[in-house]
A = this chain, B = another copy of it.
Amino acid sequence: MGGDHGPSVVVGGVRDYIRIHGGDGVRFILHGDETAIAAEMARCKLTADTCEIRHTDKVVAMDEKPAQAMRRGKGSSLWNAIEAVKTGEAGAVVSAGNTGALMAIAKLILRMSAPGLERPAIVASWPTLKGVTAVLDVGANIESDAEQLIEFAIMGEAFHAAVHGGQNGSGRPSIGILNVGSEDVKGHEEVREAHQILKNNALDLNYHGFVEGDDIAKGTVDVVVTDGFTGNIALKTAEGTARFISTLLKEALTANLQSKLGAVIAMPALKAMSRKIDPSAINGGPLLGLNGIVVKSHGGATAKGFGNAIRIGVDLARSDYMAKVGANLGRLGDVMHAAPAAQTANPDQVSGETLQ
């Protein structure tokens, strides 16, 4: 029932998913208003073979505060969909609804599996020159200590392997921590400590080292780890930059008759280019760190975009994601417990940072 367009996009997304991946045996439980959903199913020619409706009148509004949604949300479509993951009836939940409410209710029902995290981490799938890089957290973990950053690395790695196949399909994604330089001494204490632990290599991870902001779009690594504050700002800054350039480009290509003619002739190539950065091809940000698979679709996503969010949920649910993350979180617990003090990086700074 959620998102800017409600059941039309959700049911349309199911149709798109089945059209592309038809016959892969996925079945859908659609939570919400039976009449509205049945009408959309008829429009999309979907039958009870693949889609089962679970009626409820109750919905969480898009502008409802998370605390309110937690108190009043029981029995809503959002709540029931998450509950179905908890009971094992569903392998994953996909929602275009209220992000804060989804995070709050998912945490309440499923509980966190990552011991260092207070809140689920949100992953952005970022188009790059080499494919797709997973960047996390772009969500609500505003201040992240070393342990949290490493948990992001563990979950981001398993996510990339399950959904994007690692660089060149190697299944062995590389990981970088976002920083202001590549030397060991750069950045604040949290990133330096996480860097040292990952370098010591007690976890089953392919750690590359520090990366900088421009490494994201280069595709230097498959997984970029950062706190939710920096990650959110990096993501929105990139979106703003892309929109800025595309505005300038449109202005240039419609500036006069000559440029309009050139644009018409080059249009097939320009369209092929914009497909490479089509938001619906990367829609679907999983909430990681929960005991269950939860995928958030953009509220304004199209049916095609929602179909992609479904694919991410299916890929995660059918992979060894949960087991792999569980094993590495166990190793991390040993590392953090064994010698917390020894792991702390040398606090000496050089270059710009040290000068007194």
Residues on A lying within 8 angstroms of B by beta carbon are 65-67, 70, 99-100, 103-104, 107, 118-119, 127-129, 139-140, 142-143, 178-180, 187-188, 212-218, 226, 228-230, 232-249, 251-253, 255-256, 258-259, 261-270, 272-273, 276-277, 350-356
Residue from A127, A234, A240 having most chain B Cβ neighbours under 10 A: A240
Given A142-B188, A212-B233: A269 touches B259 (CB 8 Å cut-off): yes
Q: Does A217 contact B229, Cβ atoms closer than 8 Å?
A: no
Q: Does A213 contact B229, Cβ atoms closer than 8 Å?
A: no
Q: Does A269 contact B252, Cβ atoms closer than 8 Å?
A: yes
- Report B-chain residues with C-beta under 8 Å of the C-beta of A276: 248
Q: Does B236 contact A67, Cβ atoms closer than 8 Å?
A: no
Give complex CA distance A355, B215 in Å. 32
Given A229-B230, A252-B270, A353-B142: A213 touches B240 (CB 8 Å cut-off): yes
Identify which of B140, B261, B354 contacts A67 (C-beta below 8 A): B354
Nearest-neighbour CB distance to chain B for A112, whole angstroms, equals: 10
Q: Does B355 contact A180, Cβ atoms closer than 8 Å?
A: no
Q: Does A234 contact B213, Cβ atoms closer than 8 Å?
A: yes
Give complex CA distance A100, B183 in Å. 14
Nearest-neighbour CB distance to chain B for A195, whole angstroms, equals: 14
Identify which of B243, B273, B353, B354 contacts A251 (C-beta below 8 A): B273
Q: Does B265 contact A237, Cβ atoms closer than 8 Å?
A: no
Tell me the dominant secondary structure on chain A's binding face.
helix
- Report B-chain residues with C-beta under 8 Å of the C-beta of A246: 245
Give complex CA distance A249, B250 in Å. 13
Nearest-neighbour CB distance to chain B for A248, whole angstroms, equals: 5
Identify which of B243, B266, B356 contacts A262 (C-beta below 8 A): B266
Nearest-neighbour CB distance to chain B for A348, whole angstroms, equals: 11
Q: Does B252 contact A259, Cβ atoms closer than 8 Å?
A: no
Give complex CA distance A261, B261 in Å. 10
Give complex CA distance A237, B207 in Å. 21
Give complex CA distance A251, B99 in Å. 37
- Report B-chain residues with C-beta under 8 Å of the C-beta of A99: 352
Residue from A139, A140, A237, A242 having most chain B Cβ neighbours under 10 A: A237
Nearest-neighbour CB distance to chain B for A249, whole angstroms, equals: 7
Nearest-neighbour CB distance to chain B for A63, whole angstroms, equals: 11
Query: What are 8 A-B interface contacts by the 8 Å CB criterion?
Result: A213-B239, A214-B239, A214-B240, A216-B240, A249-B249, A252-B270, A262-B262, A262-B269
Q: Does A143 contact B67, Cβ atoms closer than 8 Å?
A: no
Q: Does B228 contact A180, Cβ atoms closer than 8 Å?
A: yes
Given A251-B273, A352-B119: A233 touches B258 (CB 8 Å cut-off): no
Identify which of B103, B239, B247 contacts A355 (C-beta below 8 A): B103
Given A244-B128, A259-B266, A265-B262: A351 touches B214 (CB 8 Å cut-off): no
Identify which of B65, B127, B238, B258 contacts A237 (C-beta below 8 A): B238
